[in-house]
Amino acid sequence: MVFNPSIGEIYNEMKTIALIEKGKDGSFGIFTPDLKHTIVGEGKSVSKAKEDFYNSVREVLAAYEEMQRQLPAELQEIEFEFRYDVASLFDCYKFINVSKFAEEAGINSSLMRQYKSGNQYISENQMLKIEEALHKIAREFAGIKLV
């Protein structure tokens, strides 16, 4: 918990969730389901959607400043935790080989490519397998030392 003297309130120092999803039209969208304020971003790639998203954040903050209104607590010192659907994950991290990653996750590679394209529903069980494989790889990478 953090006390913010400028607003006289105690609040949890947490990152706000920003969901990134691939749309049916092939573009990527970002939205914040937990905020009262609408902040969205769109783009042909995840990086373009993030640029648009951060531009939206700046516009919302500038509007409050321009109107000389106090910034709501939910927007003060706001930070985001991005969460990805599988298609947006592979768009954002293009260096991940989908077939090799599928093997690591214990998922059929053609099914993983369908998940990547956004054309196949992914069950919670499959999503957890993918997330566990990502975390395992991240732990391995964190332990790497170069000579």
Q: What is the DSSP letter of 83?
A: E
Distance CA 24, CA 27 (A): 7
SS3 68: coil
Q: What is the pLDDT of residues 16-50, one digit of tens each?
A: 999 999 999 999 999 999 999 989 999 999 999 99
- Sign of the Cα torsion 28, 86, 20, 77 reads negative
Write down the residue that tokens 């120092």 correspond to.
Answer: 13
* Residues 117 and 53: beta-carbon distance below 8 Å: no
pLDDT range class, residue 13, cuts 50, 70, 90: low
Average pLDDT for residues 116-142, to the nearest whole number? 94
* Residues 17 and 78: beta-carbon distance below 8 Å: no
Short-list 33, 40, 35, 39, CA closest to 74: 35
Q: What is the pLDDT of residues 44-82, one digit of tens each?
A: 999 999 999 999 999 999 999 999 999 999 999 999 999
Round the CA-based radius of gyration of the chain to a whole number and report it: 19
- Give the model's pLDDT for residue 5: 46
Q: Out of 8-12, 66-70, 86-90, pick the least confident.
A: 8-12
- Give the model's pLDDT for residue 4: 46
